[in-house]
Amino acid sequence: MTLQELTAKMKDGASKKSSFGNTVKFATDQGVIYIDGNASPPVVSNEDNAADCTVKMAFSDLDDMIGGKLDGMTAFMTGKLKIEGDMGVAMKLQSILK
């Protein structure tokens, strides 16, 4: 899957969710995916904006996580996922991404 395909998949999922009051950026080796959770529904783009929480991981791991093949907590504990900023926002992500 490409960055654009994964962004489109996340846009589709976000269109069914309500706002969650924070911004999140997934920073990968292929580019960024930014989620503005202040909007309802949340807006997903590839803009490299400042965010309340930045999740850094390899693109392949992000693809696996979004696809349900990799658990976010497992990725964090094994060092595949690093979090900068508000850890509370990162904890919300599991419910947002499902």
State pLDDT tens for residues 64-73: 998 899 998 8
Query: Is residue 98 over pLDDT 70?
Result: no
**Cβ partners under 8 Å of residue 12, min gap 6:** none
CA separation, residue 75 to residues 55, 57, 67, 81 (Å): 11, 9, 13, 5
pTM assigned to the model:
0.90
| pLDDT band, residue 33 (cuts 50/70/90) | very high
- What the block records as the tokens of 62 is 């992000």
Query: Is residue 27 over pLDDT 90?
Result: yes
Sheet holding 43-45, edge to edge: 43-45, 31-36, 23-28, 53-57, 81-85
DSSP 3-state of 88: helix
| Domains of the chain listed by start with CATH number | 3-92 (3.30.1050.10)
What is residue 91's predicted lDDT score, i.e. its pLDDT? 81
Q: Pairing between strand 81-85 and 53-57? A: antiparallel
Query: Is residue 48 over pLDDT 90?
Result: yes
Of the listed ranges 22-26, 65-69, 76-80, the least confidently predicted one is 65-69
Query: Is residue 55 over pLDDT 80?
Result: yes
Question: What length is written for the chain?
Answer: 98
What is residue 96's predicted lDDT score, i.e. its pLDDT? 67
For 91, phi then psi, to 5°, come to -65, -30
